[in-house]
Amino acid sequence: MDSEYKLGFIKGYLGTEKEIFRCKSCNWPLCSQKCSGLNKRLGHTEVECAILRETQSSNFLDYNDFSKIRSRLCALAPFRCLLLKKTDPKSYDLLLDMEHHNDLRRNIPEIWDTNQRKVVDTIIKDWGLNCFTEEEIHTMCGILEVNSFEIGHQDRNIRGLYPTAFLMSHDCVPNTNHCDEEANYRLTVRASTKIENGYPVTLSYAYTLQNTLKRREHLLDNKFFECYCKRCSDPTELGCYSSALQCPKCKSGLVLCDNPLDCDSSWSCTNSSKDCPGYIIKAKSLKLLLNRISHEVDQIDGNDIESMELFLNKYRNVLHPTHYICLGIKISLSQTYGRIKGYLINELDESILERKVELCREVLEVLDIIEPGYTRIRGVTLFEIHAPLMMLLTRDLANQSLSKAELKKRLKEVFKYLTEANIILKHEPESSPEGIMGKAAADALVQIKDWQKIVGKF
């Protein structure tokens, strides 16, 4: 378990509401006059309010332009970090133990200059707080950028700092997963696989479902280090082929990166026979291709099943079936079939039920490689696969096309998936989508066990 730093946020800041509530004391925006973060350590504290009031900082807020207000809010989190120097020196010292990479960030104008304009100049020039140096403010910006965890639920994008979790090493096949409690944002880190004595406890600071090119780009741009893990070093990505393309020449070989640790490396076909006389594509051309395909994916509505299936069919001879772009579409389909109007689980015909099962199995095979063990996405996928399997089973049973042995075999499979899904998802916050699934998995297990009274133990 890991406690968060006393930084917090003002809950519900600046949605799309026409009316903006303001703090009666400092005139800064609130989600409501009854904001649960008002005068709380994880919110708008009295000390913060007093300083914002005394500096007349709200004079720089343009309430007619949401974008300008959001720009000013960029200074708030670093400012709260700096306040800890006075209000909570112990926590401030813990913050200073975190890496800020000022030496690297200083040479990246789009980061350093943006922080200078939106944070440093706001605090020193606009608010007149000369008690902080420019270097101190940039340091806090770096600490937030490098060490923060994405947390929160219900479509809220929040970042938090944790005094122990930040010490964990990165790996693109992590052996832990984490979740945070919605009420107090306390972070819990759990082992997802067995960790042998002496082995590092790792998490991923990149999105594991992306390919090596995207992961390493994210880590370098946002965490300021390059990853050389086994997955990043392997052109096949440990056999999950998240980066692989189908060769357009021979149609049988795979196009893989010659040196995945070099973002400018060329890509070539693995087929060395006469059928494919050395197909090669330059990194620049490949990136343009992937950007174009990704843009096409971005235009697809998340509930548009037909468009997602058409996309997979369109690029079946371009992208490997488990390419990260295809995998993302397949995960969406596996979770959408059975859940939207026109595709509710009890309305699906046999072929679509089997399609949902097929999608889930494909996803699980990849997860066994890149997110092994008890991970959130695995728990969700295990829950998703149980529904079509159970629906197919009950229909076959109604048609009297199942022997008792076959019935027990198929019930055992569903029972296995639900049991593992429940083990994983029961740790998720109760009100989160995954937590709700965990409760549903537990309820479904009770119903499955009732079958044992009919067919015997399985």
What residues contact residue 189 under an 8 Å CB cut-off, 6+ apart? Answer: 2, 165, 168, 176, 177, 178, 201, 203
Tell me how far CA of residue 136 lies from CA of 78, 120, 127, 143, 318, in angstroms.
Answer: 10, 9, 16, 11, 49
- In this structure, the chain runs to a length of 458
The sign of the CA dihedral 362, 366, 367, 368 is: positive
Indicate the DSSP class of residue 341: T
- DSSP codes, 405-426: HHHHHHHHHHHHHHHHHHHHHT
Tell me how far CA of residue 7 lies from CA of 87, 91, 114, 159, 336, in angstroms.
Answer: 11, 10, 22, 10, 37
- Give the CA angle between residues 236, 238, 240 to the nearest 5°: 70
Tally: H helices and E strands in the chain: 17, 12
Q: How far apart are CA 137 and CA 418, in angstroms?
A: 49
Residues (pLDDT < 70) of the chain are: 1-19, 153-156
Tell me, what's the pLDDT at 453? 80
Tell me, what's the pLDDT at 2? 56
φ/ψ bin of 338: left (φ > 0), alpha (ψ from -120 to 50), beta (otherwise): left
| 140 closest CA partner among 169, 110, 98 | 98
Tell me, what's the pLDDT at 155? 61
pLDDT, tens digit, 9 for 90 and up, residues 225-282: 999 999 999 999 999 999 999 999 988 899 999 999 999 999 999 998 777 777 999 9
Tell me, what's the pLDDT at 307? 98
Whether this model's pTM surpasses 0.75? yes
Tell me, what's the pLDDT at 12? 43
Tell me, what's the pLDDT at 234? 99
Q: Which residues are 29's β-sheet partners?
A: 22
